[in-house]
Every structure is written in C-alpha cells, then in structure tokens.
A and B are shown apart, each in its own frame.
Chain A
Amino acid sequence: MYKYDEFDAEFVNQRALQFGRQVESRLSGSLSEEQFRPLRLMNGLYLQLHAYMLRINVPYGCLNSVQMRKLAHIARVYDKDYGHLTTRQNMQFNWIKLADMPEILLELASVEMHGIQSSGNCIRNITADEYAGVAAEEIEDPRVYCELLRQWSSLHPEFSFLPRKFKISVTGSEKDRAAVKAHDIGLRLYRNENGEEGFEVFVGGGLGRTPFIGKSIRAFLPTRHVLSYCEAILRVYNQLGRRDNKYKARIKILVHEMGAEAFTELVEKEWAQISAGALEVPEAELERVRAFFVPPAYERLPEESPELEAQLGSDAAFATWARQQLAAHKQPGYAIVNISCSPVGKPPGDISSAQMDVVANLADTYNFGEMRVTHNQNLVFTDVRKSDLFALWQELVRVGLATSNHGLISDTICCPGLDYCALATARSIPVAEKLSQRFADQDKQKEIGEIYLNMSGCINACGHHHVGNIGIVGVDKKNSELYQLMLGGSAEEDASLGKILGPGFDEDGIVDAVENVIDTYLELRDESERFIDTYRRVGPDPFKERLYSAPA
C-alpha cells in the first residue's frame, strides 16, 4: 500500500497542528461555534447526539496493522473502547472529547492517518473496490489512481468550499463492488480494444433525498488525464451547482436539471482548456505511485491446497465459513477473506479495540500486515495462503469475527441512526439487529442466497437504502418510528433504485414484513435466481399483495 514520503508526512502534520491551534481558539472563545463548525467538519469532527464524533479516513479502504493498532489505541484511550466502520470505508469514534483532539490528530499523523475532508462540502475520502489488486476477474488495479486522486483532492485551493459534499469512487473490475454509479463521480477502469487503459466516467449518481443513478459522460478517458478531467467536472460544479438550497446542491441535481448532455458539453469544453496542462500525470509520478501497489511477495503455490481440502472435509463449521467468506484470488494458492463485522444481533460495523488489536496481529501473521475496510462495513484480508485459512478462522472464531454471512441477508449496511446521529429521525441499528436475529439460521440464509439489505435512519440515506435489494428507511411519524420498505435497488454494475412498496411499519412490523417478502421470493423464484433477479422478473405486485392484502 501507499507509504507517505516526507512531503505527505509534513502535509498531515501541518494540518494536525493547524487544527490544534483552531481547537485552542475555540476553547478560549476567539472562535465562535458558528465559525469553528466548518473547521472541525473539515477535520472530520462532528457534534452528535451524545458527544463529538471523529471520522478518520481510511484511503480507499486500505489499512495496515500499525494503523489498526493505533485505531485500537485511540478507541481505548480517548473513546469507549470501540470504533465503527462506515460505508465510505472509514472508521469513526462516537465519544470523542474536543479537548483531546489536538493530541489525537498528532497520534494519527504518526501513522499516516487523519480526518481531513471526512466531512464538509469538499471532496471526501476516495473509495474503491475492496478487492482492488487481487480479484481474479480484475482488469486493472484502481488504487494507483485512487492515490493520485487522494493527493489532488487534499485541501484543493479551488474545491474546498463546494456547494455540497463530493464523493468519488473507482473500480477496476467488471463486478462493481465500489458502487460507482451511486457517486458524484464514478470511475470504471478498463482496457479499450487497443489495449490502452482508461476510465469510463459516470457523473451525478447519489442517494440522499433525491436518488439518481450516475450518467456515463465519457466512454473512454486515458488514465493520464484523470486529474484534469475531474478538475473540469469540479470546476463546472463549483461554479454552477446550486447554493440556494442544500437539498438541491449535489452535482446530481445540476446534472439532472441541466441535462447530462449539456453538462457533458460544459465539462468537455472546460477540459479542452486544461487537459494539456500541469495536471497531466507525469509518467515518473505514475511509476512512483505504482511501485507501492506491486503485489506482495507471494509464494509459488499450487492452486489447490490439500491441507485446506482436508480441513474443509473434517470441520463443518469451518467449511460453512469458508464457503461464504472467501473470494477467488488472482494468485494460485491464495484466497481473499471477508471478515464479517456484522455478527447476529450486534450493530453492523462496530469493532472493539480488543478485536482491532487481534485483527492487526492476524494481518501481520497471515496477510502481509495489511487489510481493507469495505463499504459494507466489514474487513477483508486480501492475500491469505489457502493453507493458512483454517488457522486464521480459528483465531477469528475466538474474537467473534467469524460470522458466515458475506453477501447474505444478515450482512446489512446500516447507518448509526437515532442511537447516535443528530440528523436521524428513527433508530436503524435495533432493526438491523432484529432482522439478523430473525434470519440467524445459517441454512435459511444460505437458501435465500445473495441479497443486499440496506437500512437508513432518515432520508439522507447514509445506509444506502435506495440501492439495497431490500431497502428500509426509518422516519419519524408523530414522534414514533415508522419504517418504509423498498424493493429492487442495486448498487452494482446493473445499478437501480428501489421503489417504496406501500405504507410503513413499526419496528416489529418491518421485521415481519421483510420475512414475508423473503417467503414470497422463495415461493416465486426460479432455480438459482437471486432475489434481485426474481424481483426484476415479477415486479412489486406479488410482494405488495402478500404484505398489504387483507388476511383471508
């Protein structure tokens, strides 16, 4: 993974010291809350229901064991012994003291971490495919470009006061694990017919109050132009994006109101002026960054491991986990391991400092000292020898990180909701917990198969409910929680937005409703159809009928 040089280190250090000074000014009263708020947000510090919340960037989800240990340390010393993995592949802490912030930022800077632009109306943490560099079906590793984008977007002199927040995501695979069509800019890396690398560029995707699927505005952008093209898009957005209404300020609204064609024309016109300028990535810089992402020192191994085959045969629990949590690796004899942080009946994405320490040690032993955070609020070990899987699993079992629900119904995406969040209108975690308990049976989950259940505690959609195959959004109705159900969303390459099925439910009612939806699907599905396939074939009516028709 990328390693800071003296310039990156100084950059983050300067910023930590600057924020330290700003915190002092706030505590002494020379900055009012109104003046301080945007400054703290630009450093990832929110004021939530119970305390300050600090969001720490994990650039495109890549984390090393030293950093993970530091996060565990911060949880232990400055917070309440746990952290929360977010859908932007970051980690956040819910009980931070303002007065501790200068110290915390220096601690983070010492391991090449920070909270810069994890909030605010600026370019947020760049996200990427969590299998970047190792997925068997990958075309190109997107991380090199993520890193270039990370640097370019850090304290950009022109784009730090945008109309609204701005999210960029990059994938290099056919299978889209980075939800590129649900981002302000989505970049899909591929090779054209001449074998040249380039991006398909999507703009104007996003969830929130007004969800849109991103529009493809350029079929092929040579990779060396990625920064200038993004700069052109951002410049058009910075000048023309709406600033009169924060709910209409995202680029998706601009693209929608203007029309994708007219928007594209402006971007292309702007880009024509700057494409040959200083933003063209020099080959030397590309080489420098690329060198950080060369594959680790893999051993030459046969594809199959007889040891693993024997262990799969002799331990049923291990076999269940392995069938569910592993993905195919580029390198023979290695596997990608999904580590679920959404155990049954627990808040999705929460991880204790003790678990963080164990994961860091396991990463050192089995995964070249690195790991990834996924947008599904889980962790991934990308490079585990097949012969090590059994030992790794045994260690994970010991700390409660061996749940076998990857891609299954209990592996929900879930925002913090009204239990923590100042914007939420309903709780979301308790519903996710109840749902995972209702579907806790492994065989049942397996029978249901691949499905994405996403849940938010308000219409801002941090839990990505519009792009869940099943989406749930909690709202406040006369001071009680009401949960609306939507079906048919997808964040993948066949992205689509879910539609609300009908009137909402209370907390227990929504759990029953989801079970009814699942039962209906199981009755209707053709052999091997995923939930989303069945829904697309039969439409919402059979589900509506089941849920809302009067009992016979």
Chain B
Amino acid sequence: MPLLKNGAIADDPYTRVEGDDALPAEGAVLVDLARWESERDALIRRDGEVGVWLTSSETPAAIAEDLPHLAVVALEFPAFTDGRAYSSARLLRERYAYEGEVRAVGDVLIEQLHFMDRAGFSSFEFSSDQPEEDWITAQSDMKIWYQPTGDERPTATQLRRR
C-alpha cells in the first residue's frame, strides 16, 4: 500500500513481520506488540530500525517505556469507524512526548486525514489513485479548529485573542 508522508508518496523501508514470522536478516521491521514484548532485547540489538504495530485494542501505555527504541509506531484502524487510534496517537504525542513516526494503517480514507493529522499521525498507508491530491484536498477542507492538540496549531479561541 502506498505510504503518504509529508504530503508526498514516500518509500516504505519497513517490512511488516506478522506474528511469529521469521525476521528478515537486515533492514527495518515493524512487529506486533506481542513480538516486541517477547523479543524486545534482541530486536533492539538487531541491525536496522524497529517499529511496533498496535491494534486498536492495544494502548501506547504498553510501549511507553520503550519509545526511545522505536522509530515508528503504527496504529491500526480495523475499520474507519473505529476511532480508538486517535486517542492512541494523541497519547503518544502529548503524554509520552514521542517524536518518531506515527503511522495510520488499515482502513484509512481521505475524509479522516484531517482528523488524523491533528491527532498526531505523521504518515498514512493510504489507498487512493491520487494520494497527493487527496492530501491537499484534506488539508484545505478544514482550516479552522476548535480543539487544542499536541500539534499546537492555533485554535479558533487562540486566533481570536491575536
């Protein structure tokens, strides 16, 4: 699936390693939470970046201590109507001060991009014929926000006081 990052299609260096599948000899990997928990030290020692994939029922509290070792945290939307990952993204950014890549994976639609952007996601596995145009559309759709989030974009309330 194409990866949208900073408004453009980007190469995805990560290999998704599901369940107990063998790790590739080298290169960046994205593993499940269970794999991370059971092979944490080995994964840290291994050559290549490592990221963790959280399902929507797993919360970032489970990896809060490990975040300095993680280059990416992927948050899954099993259906676009399942909004748990929005909370996870905000917690990663605002509570745990995570500065790495927060990736939206799963059922990601253009209509959600602006919510995700504000919640702290920085990359999107996004199926579209024209992802870059869609990103621009999503960005231009909504320019006024009422809620403060970790991205520190000024809210309507803050703009009023300028």
Binding site for B on A (CB under 8 A): 5, 7-8, 10-11, 14-15, 17-18, 21-22, 35, 38-39, 121, 151-152, 154-162, 235, 238-239, 243, 273, 277-279, 282, 284-285, 288
Q: Which residues of A contact B144 (CB under 8 A)?
A: 7-8, 10-11, 14
Asked if residues B161 and A284 are in contact (CB atoms below 8 Å), the reply is: yes
Q: Does B87 contact A (CB under 8 A)?
A: yes
Asked if residues A159 and B161 are in contact (CB atoms below 8 Å), the reply is: no
Q: Which residues of B contact A273 (CB under 8 A)?
A: 95
Asked if residues B157 and A157 are in contact (CB atoms below 8 Å), the reply is: no
- The contact of B157 among A22, A239, A243, A282, by CB within 8 Å, is A282
Given the contacts A35-B109, A157-B118, A158-B86, A8 and B156 also touching, CB distance less than 8 Å:
yes
- The contact of B143 among A14, A39, A154, A157, by CB within 8 Å, is A14
Given the contacts A160-B83, A160-B115, A282-B157, A14 and B141 also touching, CB distance less than 8 Å:
yes
B31 CB, min distance to chain A CBs, angstroms: 23
- The contact of A14 among B86, B112, B115, B142, by CB within 8 Å, is B142
Binding site for A on B (CB under 8 A): 59, 80-84, 86-87, 90, 95, 109, 111-112, 114-116, 118-119, 137, 141-149, 155-157, 159-161
A21-B137, A161-B81 known; 10 new pairs, CB 8 Å cut-off, are A5-B160, A18-B142, A152-B146, A158-B147, A161-B80, A161-B82, A238-B83, A239-B59, A239-B84, A279-B148
Nearest neighbor of A18 in chain B, beta-carbon distance: B141
Asked if residues B115 and A151 are in contact (CB atoms below 8 Å), the reply is: no
Complex Cα distance, B91 from A238, in Å, reads 13
- The contact of A162 among B83, B145, B148, by CB within 8 Å, is B83
Nearest neighbor of B149 in chain A, beta-carbon distance: A157
Complex Cα distance, B82 from A121, in Å, reads 10
Asked if residues B90 and A158 are in contact (CB atoms below 8 Å), the reply is: yes
Q: Which residues of B contact A17 (CB under 8 A)?
A: 141
Q: Max chain A CB contacts within 10 Å: which of B83, B86, B90, B160?
A: B83
Complex Cα distance, B156 from A154, in Å, reads 12
Q: Which residues of B contact A155 (CB under 8 A)?
A: 115, 142, 145-146
Given the contacts A157-B149, A278-B148, A39 and B111 also touching, CB distance less than 8 Å:
yes
Q: Which residues of A contact B112 (CB under 8 A)?
A: 161
Given the contacts A14-B142, A152-B146, A243 and B82 also touching, CB distance less than 8 Å:
yes
Asked if residues B160 and A285 are in contact (CB atoms below 8 Å), the reply is: yes
A-B contact pairs, 13 of them (CB 8 A): A5-B160, A15-B142, A17-B141, A22-B111, A151-B146, A152-B147, A156-B147, A158-B86, A158-B149, A160-B83, A238-B87, A239-B84, A273-B95
Q: Which residues of A contact B143 (CB under 8 A)?
A: 10, 14
Asked if residues A159 and B148 are in contact (CB atoms below 8 Å), the reply is: no
Complex Cα distance, B79 from A35, in Å, reads 11
Given the contacts A157-B147, A239-B59, A7 and B160 also touching, CB distance less than 8 Å:
yes
